[in-house]
Structure 1
Amino acid sequence: MKEKTTYKWGMIGCGSVTEVKSAPAYQQTDGFELFAVMGRDLSKAKDYAQRHHVPNVYDDADTLINHPEIDAVYIATPPDSHEYYALKVAAAGKICCIEKPLAPTYEACQNITAAFEARNLPLFVSYYRRSLPRFLKIKEWLDQNKIGTIRHLHWQFEKPTNDLDKSRAYNWRTDASIAPGGYFDDLASHGLNLFTFLLGRIARAEGIAENRLGLYSAKDSITGKWVHESGVSGFGSWDFGAEQRQDVVKIYGNEGNITFSVFGEQPIVLENDEERIELTIEHPKHIQAYHVENMKAHLNGEGEHPSKGASAAHTSWVMECILQNKIEVINN
């Protein structure tokens, strides 16, 4: 893609994820401008635009997508609307970044990626952990064979119910029509996507997904196992009604292991026969900063962005295999 001095972005959706995590990163990246924001509630969108100093505000997505000055669109809405908006962006011939997960179903993910591939348009997905220094250090250790031949990965994640769950108030993150796996879709997707970044694509996956608490329509207790194309095995368990929070990943090699958290900022730990390294690598204030900077580099031909449509769709395929309580072998 031809380098531009400034890429003007339009943002669809102005929910909590955009307040600190993402929108400021677009504004602070040299060569990017957050030019417009759209929200279905115009008064809320205007308030957001005023607080974040966004010059243009709309309550109609088509107006934003087809604005002649807008080069790229960031879709920051709940997953059930991603396909709808993404196909419009592709038809308009615009660059796109979509929040994760890419869509509630693998079929919808395929529709999205096919639309952008057909028009040779860049499609990014906000799996920003692939760009964070914390996880790049882990990838560096793995690439340097610091723990020898990698054999297995284990992730245990537990989270207590929150007040919203207990009150049975509506939450799209636990609505099975939008997020079939509940918090699994929102949170486990980050880890599973990260593991394919670190260890390669997954060849087959299976799982057991249940609703044990009965507080909402989505699943709340999931176990899954998978095998990467490299032969590395993986196992994960996710409990969203636990007594206390826990988030521990351990990668086992024949000469050592690496331990870390997907969401916390606890030290990452490397242990082998020769050394024990414990590093604290903090996240940036706006956690999508490196992800957004990498988009600019990609668009200007200065590097390959690590999180694009195909890898995000692959993550959705893995999650779908685990949630459907059956074994599936990769066909994508």
Structure 2
Amino acid sequence: MTESRFNFSAEKPLRWGVIGCGAVTEKKSVPAFKTTSGFEVAMVMRRNPKKVEDYAKRHHIPNWTTNADELINNPKVDAVYIATPPDTHKLYALKVAAAGKPCCVEKPMAPTYKDSLAIYNAFVDKGIPLFIAYYRRSLPRFLKIKEWLDGGQIGEVRHIHWQKTKPPSDIDLSKAYNWRTDAAIARGGYFDDLASHGLDLFTFLLGDIEEANGFCTNQIGLYSAFDAITANWIHEGGITGTGNWNFGTYHRTDKVEIMGSKGSIRFAVLDEAPVELQNALGHQILNIPHPEHIQEFHVENIKNHLQGQGRHPSTGTTGLHTSWVMEEILGKL
């Protein structure tokens, strides 16, 4: 079952409410919602009154609140963007669905597949559009890779491999609290936050994953979540995949290679790096910069979807699939 479309008049701006005013909203997302024609940000919510008032003033947003229900049920808010840590995504998303409003949820969709499924079903049952902020599906850098793949530039795709490693951060070493490494919120630690982007992107590029498994452990003992994960998977059509994510190494790496029968493509999921195509015609290296506000094209695609001018590449359907893949790798609870 797919999400319905929700039409709004181009003559009247769609008014967004934002739940959560953390770092992701400062430059990556909220400015993109504000600058997209036909959209405006009408209200923001954060539990700390001083911080939310300061945020609203700095971003020139007219209304703020410390009560999520007030924002969700406000008749002057037409749609809601949930930008809180993933353990509260289900709580807020179900309320947005009950209010009958379109919603965009930050990634990952929820800490578990079960919670992601509950969110998905709530919006499908209401026939309301649901988007997940896997914005890499909308970025020109990765659309170029898809163009190469769809155009047969490396022949038949055989395998994809991703290596993502980094040293412990100062926060990790100090053992200060970080929700991203709290197993109660993010069982996979940085894997949940970072690997979700890549695994979602790989299904966009190569098709859904039919089977996945993994080995997970905590090697350095700095926090409760996993810090070392390896995985194998297979895409529809038989393309195999492997990944290695380790967050206690000396070197930082972010390397993806897609291998085909007639060439290969190399790129990074998270780091700023060129995309490379190598085949019988030679070696092509392209630097394709991201926009200043990295969710710009993602938000533009939300507008197009709601106006019936296209289908967004990251919906509740695709986000749910990524949640399933991650749970298969991490192991079922």
Instruction: Bin the TM-score by the shorter chain.
Output: over 0.9
* Aligned counterparts, 1:95-114, within 5 A: 95-114=102-121
* Aligned counterparts, 1:178-327, within 5 A: 178-324=185-331
Distance 1:325 1:54, change over 3 A: closer
Does residue 29 of structure 1 match 2:51? no
Structure 1 unpaired stretches of 5+: 327-332
The Cα shift of 1:69 comes to 1.4
After superposition, the C-alpha distances for 1:25-61 in whole angstroms (9 at most, x for unaligned) are 0000000000000001111100000010010000000
Q: CA RMSD in A?
A: 1.0
Residue equivalent to 1:75: 82
The SS at the match of 1:23 is helix
After superposition, the C-alpha distances for 1:185-229 in whole angstroms (9 at most, x for unaligned) are 000000000000000000000000000110000000000000001
Equivalents in 2 of 1:316, 1:217: separation in Å? 20
Does residue 135 of structure 1 match 2:142? yes
Equivalents in 2 of 1:226, 1:319: separation in Å? 11
Distance 1:229 1:164, change over 3 A: same
Equivalents in 1 of 2:237, 2:225: separation in Å? 32
Contact 1:45 1:57 in 2 (8 A): yes
Contact 1:265 1:280 in 2 (8 A): no
The Cα shift of 1:325 comes to 8.2
Report the TM-score when normalising by structure 2.
0.97
Contact 2:267 2:274 in 1 (8 A): yes
The Cα shift of 1:275 comes to 2.4
The Cα shift of 1:265 comes to 2.0
The amino acid of 2:247's aligned partner reads F
Does residue 55 of structure 1 match 2:59? no
Structure 2 unpaired stretches of 5+: 1-5
The amino acid of 1:191's aligned partner reads G
Does residue 41 of structure 1 match 2:48? yes
State the identity as a percent.
59
The SS at the match of 1:33 is strand
For residue 17 of structure 1, the aligned residue among 17, 24, 32 is 24
After superposition, the C-alpha distances for 1:151-201 in whole angstroms (9 at most, x for unaligned) are 000000111101000000000000000000000000000000000000000
The Cα shift of 1:2 comes to 2.4
Higher mean alpha-carbon deviation, 118-127 vs 3-12, is at 3-12
Residue equivalent to 1:160: 167
Contact 1:252 1:258 in 2 (8 A): yes
Equivalents in 1 of 2:31, 2:48: separation in Å? 21
Contact 2:113 2:323 in 1 (8 A): yes
Contact 2:8 2:14 in 1 (8 A): no
Equivalents in 2 of 1:294, 1:77: separation in Å? 22
Runs of 4+ in structure 1 deviating by more than 6 angstroms, as ranges, are none
Equivalents in 2 of 1:320, 1:302: separation in Å? 33
The Cα shift of 1:276 comes to 1.6
Equivalents in 2 of 1:97, 1:325: separation in Å? 26
